[in-house]
Amino acid sequence: MTIGFLGLGIMGRPMAKNLLKAGYRVWVNNRSRGPMEELAACGGRPASRAEIGENCEVVLTMLPNSPQVREVMLGEDGVAAHMKPGAVYIDMSSIDPVASREIAATLAERGVEMLDAPVSGGEPKAIDGTVSFMVGGKREIFDRCRPILEAMGASVVHCGEVGAGNTAKLANQIIVACNIQALAEALTLAQKAGVDPELVFQAIRGGLAGSAVMEAKAPMMLSGNDSPGFKIDLHIKDLANVLDCAHSVGAPVPMTASVMEVMQWLHSHGGGEKDHSAIARYYEALSGIQLGG
């Protein structure tokens, strides 16, 4: 099977490599040439949007947000214009569920099926092929494409019709953001109270407060490591989609609104490109301490 892959960023690049390792033929496209050349060295084939649409049975995208997905797929000389009826499009980007449904409706007019399949796990899990997929779309299309997703992820769950995958991802991003904020707040409290936050982490990680978020982010906070596995600016984008969706359906999201303000503060103070664990820096600025220092 020949797969087209558009969007070779922090997540897309290792995910495309995992498809190659699984034995798929992968044609790649990216705005900049460097990542395409890196994938070519691993066996991928750099290609234009038109070439991907004309030659690939399945097309995958991993892009920043709804406008980029629309432009790449439906814009002037977009991929969809070259796809054949019966082809499948899988969008692994995290976008507004409303946009997913609109794109799917346009593609259906061309005879192209769509799954929305956003991921969770960040760069480390993208590299080792253990991301979690939340998938929306027709069950028969999901079943047909599941092996492709399993080549990149450890968990692949069908959540409902198109848009359900991105709705699940929005829920995921609420929980992740609020967990990171709570973790930063708790470790700051510990240090201000004169207790080593590293020891607090060790003491509570095995109890009810323990979580995958804590295991991934506490060491980063305590060591001052802000290298992005998932950038503040990308989480801001996701939370903006959460708030838009919540307002449209009437769901209360006060905790999301609170952590959004913290992330916006970090963005305004030069932290947009840092990992979302940099929420700890917000608390350091308020408290006058350096975690672990």
Tell me the DSSP string of 132-182: EEEEES-HHHHHHHHHHHHTTEEEEEEEESTTHHHHHHHHHHHHHHHHHHH
Q: How many Å apart are CA 274 and CA 293, to the nearest integer?
A: 20
Q: In CATH, which of 3.40.50.2300, 3.90.1150.10, 3.30.479.10, 1.10.1040.10 is domain 168-287?
A: 1.10.1040.10
**Residue 65: burial class (beta carbons within 10 Å; 0-12, 13-18, 19+):** middle
Phi (first) and psi of residue 67, to 5 degrees: -60, -40
Residue by residue, DSSP assigns 26-71 as EEEE-SSHHHHHHHHHTT-EE--HHHHHHH-SEEEE--SSHHHHHH
Q: Which fold has domain 2-162?
A: Rossmann fold (3.40.50)
Mean pLDDT in residue range 160-189? 97
Q: What is the pLDDT of residue 292?
A: 84
User: Per residue in 6-36, pLDDT tens?
Assistant: 999 999 999 999 999 999 999 999 999 999 9
Structural tokens at position 96: 């507004």
Nearest partner of 258 among 245, 271, 242, 274, judged by Cα: 242
Phi (first) and psi of residue 251, to 5 degrees: -95, 130
The pLDDT mean for the chain works out to 96
Q: Which residues are catalytic?
A: 169
- Quick one: CA dihedral 258, 261, 265, 267, positive or negative? positive
Structural tokens at position 115: 């799954």
- Whether the pLDDT of residue 100 is over 80: the answer is yes
Domain extent listing, the chain? 2-162, 168-287
Q: What is the pLDDT of residue 293?
A: 77
User: Per residue in 63-98, pLDDT tens?
Assistant: 999 999 999 999 998 999 999 999 999 999 999 999
Q: What is the pLDDT of residue 210?
A: 97
Task: Kindly give, in sequence order, each residue whose CB lies less than 8 Å from that of residue 212, ignoring residues fewer than 6 positions away.
Answer: none
Nearest partner of 271 among 231, 239, 238, judged by Cα: 231
Residue carrying the six token digits 């980029």: 68
- For residue 64, give the amino acid letter: P
H or E segment to which residue 91 belongs: strand 88-91
Residue carrying the six token digits 């992968």: 26
Neighbours of 251 (CB within 10 A): 12
User: Per residue in 162-174, pLDDT tens?
Assistant: 999 999 999 999 9
Phi (first) and psi of residue 103, to 5 degrees: -65, -40
Report CA-CA distances (Å) from 117 to 77, 186, 226, 266: 24, 33, 27, 29
Geometric angle at alpha carbon 55, from 50 and 56, rounded to 5°: 105
- Whether the pLDDT of residue 180 is over 90: the answer is yes
Task: Kindly give, in sequence order, each residue whose CB lies less than 8 Å from that of residue 76, ignoring residues fewer than 6 positions away.
Answer: none
Task: Kindly give, in sequence order, each residue whose CB lies less than 8 Å from that of residue 142, ignoring residues fewer than 6 positions away.
Answer: 115, 135, 158
Report CA-CA distances (Å) from 240 to 24, 232, 233: 35, 12, 10
- What count of residues does the chain have? 293
